[in-house]
């Protein structure tokens, strides 16, 4: 039995994909400790892993634009978490560690303690040579210019403090370890054929969560089904939900709308009879019954949609989602709209077009096969065990 350590940022879109992998490793006899914040304790413990808490600067504070550019938060988060975990992990001495690229502090732990490391990427891998990625990063840095400048200074100071080589944010986000697990199929990855054998494109890490509970899935029967969700972070957009009421209320569509917990559905006005509105929904079970997904374009949501053969209309909100939306449109898997200019008529026309033009569903079905062939959490666990075996 070997000891493995998982490290992540306290964001559902980053954590969810790792949980089926952790559970599989535990079932195969690995002793896994997962380092996260208390809000994820129950989810981690359900996998059979040992949970170890840390306190994060990413929780409990304002959820504004700063968190939308996570790299700028890395130095402050790194300083706080390293102070909590360095000696803990030194004493635990895992045989390997698996970390999300947004965990600068986990990368530093591996370097300081000389522990073999694996990256686990919930979205596309970053090739700094790619013009598309370079343009995206430049635009985000410009949007948060003052924050980014200070963060660069903080990053340099942090690396000096721990006697590590200087680095920059592009290098941190594109860091390649001997093994890098990527939760998209190679066919979805921008420049997929340019990544070498260190990258294993496992596709979405999906394992039935069994959490449908008493959710009335029968609402989706009796007509074409539309699922609408803006994810778990930037979903406080009442105006958008009212636009959805206007676009799809009283139509043939059977609509499930997930608002998140920041919005009070009672304040949205009258809810159309063909809508079911909830703060959260069992997404896998809903997607299994969905014809079109109107989504923020988070990688997990997109991959889960494609796993069930569902085309999408994407309205990106933050972070890498504009890149995902561009890729969706480029591959013909759906349509991309802009948050700043979206209208009721655009919503209606885009969903109808994706629903009725067969080419979208044909492209999504091809992607569905790529998703299924990528191996998911089983291939990820297999790659981790093979990596551990090679370490001797």
Least confident residue range of 47-56, 229-238, 273-282, 313-322: 229-238
- Dump pLDDT digits (tens) for 61-119: 444 334 446 778 889 999 999 999 999 999 999 999 999 999 999 999 999 999 999 99
pLDDT value at residue 249: 96
- Dump pLDDT digits (tens) for 248-282: 999 999 999 999 887 887 889 999 999 999 998 99
pLDDT value at residue 64: 39
Domains of the chain: 3-203+375-390 (3.40.50.2000), 217-372 (3.40.50.2000)
Close Cβ partners of 260 (under 8 Å, ≥ 6 residues apart): 230, 231, 232, 235, 236, 279, 280
- Dump pLDDT digits (tens) for 296-347: 999 999 999 999 999 999 999 876 788 899 999 999 999 999 999 999 999 9
């Amino acid at each position: 039995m070997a000891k493995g350590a998982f490290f992540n940022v306290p964001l559902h879109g980053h954590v969810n994909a790792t949980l089926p992998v952790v559970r599989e490793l535990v079932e195969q006899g690995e002793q896994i400790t997962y380092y996260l914040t208390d809000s994820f304790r129950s989810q981690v413990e359900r996998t059979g892993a040992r949970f170890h808490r840390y306190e994060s600067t990413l929780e409990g504070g304002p959820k504004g634009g700063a968190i939308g550019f996570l790299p700028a938060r890395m130095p402050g988060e790194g300083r706080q978490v390293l102070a909590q975990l360095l000696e803990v992990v030194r004493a635990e001495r895992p045989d390997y560690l698996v970390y999300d690229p947004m965990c600068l502090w986990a990368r530093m732990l591996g370097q300081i303690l000389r522990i073999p490391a694996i990256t686990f990427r919930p979205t596309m891998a970053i090739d700094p040579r790619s013009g598309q990625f370079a343009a995206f990063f430049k635009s985000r840095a410009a949007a948060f210019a003052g924050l980014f400048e200070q963060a660069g200074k903080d990053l340099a100071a942090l690396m000096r403090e721990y006697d590590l080589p200087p680095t920059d944010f592009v290098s941190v986000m594109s860091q390649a370890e001997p093994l890098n697990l990527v939760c998209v199929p190679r066919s979805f990855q921008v420049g997929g054929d340019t990544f070498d054998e260190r990258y294993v494109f496992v596709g979405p890490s999906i394992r039935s969560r069994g959490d449908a509970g008493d959710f009335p899935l029968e609402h989706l029967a009796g007509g074409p089904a539309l699922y609408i969700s803006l994810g778990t972070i930037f979903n406080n957009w009442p105006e958008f939900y009212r636009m959805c009421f206007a676009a799809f209320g009283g139509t043939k569509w059977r609509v499930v709308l997930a608002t998140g917990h920041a919005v009070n559905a009672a304040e949205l006005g009258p809810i159309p009879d063909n809508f079911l509105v909830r703060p959260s929904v069992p997404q896998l079970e809903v997607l299994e019954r969905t014809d079109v997904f109107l989504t923020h374009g988070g990688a997990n949501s997109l991959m889960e949609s494609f796993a069930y053969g569902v085309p999408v209309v994407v309205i990106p909100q933050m972070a890498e989602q504009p890149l995902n939306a561009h890729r969706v449109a480029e591959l013909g898997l759906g349509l991309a709209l802009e948050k700043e200019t979206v209208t009721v008529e655009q919503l209606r026309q885009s969903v109808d077009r994706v629903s009725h033009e067969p080419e979208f569903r044909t492209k999504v079905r091809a992607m569905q096969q790529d998703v299924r062939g990528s191996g998911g959490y089983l291939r990820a666990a297999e790659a981790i065990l093979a990596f551990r075996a090679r370490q001797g």
